[in-house]
Amino acid sequence: MEILVIEDDGSIGKALVQGLTDAGHDCVWVKDGERGLELGHTQQFDVVILDLLLPGEPGLQVLAKLRGDGIRTPVIVLTALGTIEERVAGLNAGADDYLVKPFALAELLARLQAVCRRTADRPAAALQVGDLVLDLTNRRFTRGGAEIDLTPTEFSLLELLMRHAGQVVTRKMLCEHLWAADWEGTTNVIEVHVTRLRAKLQRQGGDALIQTVRGRGYALRAT
C-alpha cells in the first residue's frame, strides 16, 4: 500500500515508517497539517494515517478539508485524545477508523487491512488527477480547491479523460461516451468542447493538461 503518514512526533513517525516499511508498504511521512493537506490533494494514496494534534493545520481540519474537497482516501486517526466525544468528532469529520496512542503496530496493520477491505468495493465518489478533483456525487469540479463551473457535456468529457489519465482517449470514444454507444457522426464537435474545457482549466491557472495526440485523440496528462 501507498501510505501517507501525517505525524509531528519524530519518534512516533520514525517508528511508524519503519514498521510499515518492514511490513511491505511504501510511506511518505510529513510533520505538519499544511503539507499533509497538500499531498492529500495532489498525490494518490491507499490510506492516510493522521495525527490530530498537529502544528499549523489541526488534524480535524485537515480531515474535514479533504472530505469537503471530495477526497475519499481512507483515513485512520492516531491520537492521544481518547474520550468518546473526541472519537465521535473524528469519525464525524470523516475518519474511517480511530486508534488511540499508545498502540501496537500489529493492531495498526490489522486496521489498515480492515479499512482497505471495507473500502475496496466502495463506488468512487470522486476522481482525482493532480489538483483536479471531480466530485461525481455532487457534480462539482475543482482545481487546486477552487470550483470551476462545467456544462454537463464538459463534465462528462472530463470524467472520461480523468478515468483514463495518461492514456489516449480517441474522439470516437468521447463521442460514444457523450451521446450514443453506436455514434457514427462527425467528431469535429468534440474539438469545440475540448477547446472550451481547456480554456476553463487555464483561467484557473497552470497548464490546461489536456494534450492533443495528433491523429488519435486526447490525453489528460497525469501529474
3-class DSSP string for 109-176: HHHHHHHHHHHHCCCCCEEEECCEEEECCCCEEEECCEECCCCHHHHHHHHHHHHCCCCCEEHHHHHH
3-class DSSP string for 38-49: HHHHHCCCCEEE
* Predicted local confidence at residue 184, as pLDDT: 52
Question: Over the chain (223 residues), what is each successive 10-residue block's mean pLDDT?
Answer: 93 94 94 91 89 88 86 86 74 84 89 78 74 87 90 88 87 75 58 88 75 89 68
**In terms of pTM, does the model score above 0.95?**
no
* Predicted local confidence at residue 17, as pLDDT: 94
Bridging pattern class, strands 217-220 and 210-213: antiparallel
* Predicted local confidence at residue 123, as pLDDT: 57
Q: How far is Cα 68 from Cα 21, in angstroms, rounded to an integer?
A: 30
Q: Please say whether the beta carbons of 138 and 83 come within 8 A.
A: no
* Predicted local confidence at residue 49, as pLDDT: 96
**CATH architecture assigned to 2-120:** 3-Layer(aba) Sandwich (3.40)
Q: Which amino acid is at 43?
A: Q
Q: What fold does the segment set 126-220 form as a domain?
A: Arc Repressor Mutant, subunit A (1.10.10)
Q: Residue ranges of the domains in the chain?
A: 2-120, 126-220
* Predicted local confidence at residue 33, as pLDDT: 92
Q: Which amino acid is at 60?
A: L
